[in-house]
Amino acid sequence: MDARGTGCILVIVSVSGRQPGHHFAKWSARVICTALVALVALAGCGSSKPAYCSARTNLQNSVKGLTNLNSSSGISGLKAQLDKIQSDANTLINQAKSDFPSQTSAIKSSLDGLESAVKGLPSSPSASQIAGVAASASGLVSSVKNFFDATSSKCS
């Protein structure tokens, strides 16, 4: 037991050493000590999830945003979504690279590939150019999924 728990025991002992008939005081001290020990225990628990767990959810959501794009979104919509993905991916990479270096490196690499493919698009892309972007996006989705799989035990 730690010092805080011992302190509560001392309070109970000192209260119980008083005159008979002070049952309310003994009971109150016990309730207060129990509450204090519970609060200390809860404060120590906090969230056991690493910071990158929320970052991975943000990245997953921004990658899913690619599926919401349509022809009316145009290249500018795709570039805007790519900016969001890059921001979320960079946050995730910075938070998780020491724990998951190969997975975060794969995300960075696939993100760089998608960025190159999108930047290379003309204002009126051909079907093969769009297919190249789709293949790069698929690589990013795969690397994000691999990260999710690797971190599932820590973030669930």
Structural domain spans, the chain? 3-45, 52-155
What pLDDT is attached to residue 89? 97
What pLDDT is attached to residue 7? 41
Of 4-13, 65-74, 103-112, the range with the lowest mean pLDDT is 4-13
What pLDDT is attached to residue 39? 43
Of 36-40, 49-53, 87-91, 93-97, the range with the lowest mean pLDDT is 36-40
What does the pLDDT look like over 24-64, one tens digit per residue? 445 444 545 454 444 444 444 455 899 999 999 999 999 99
Tell me the one-letter amino acid at 125. P
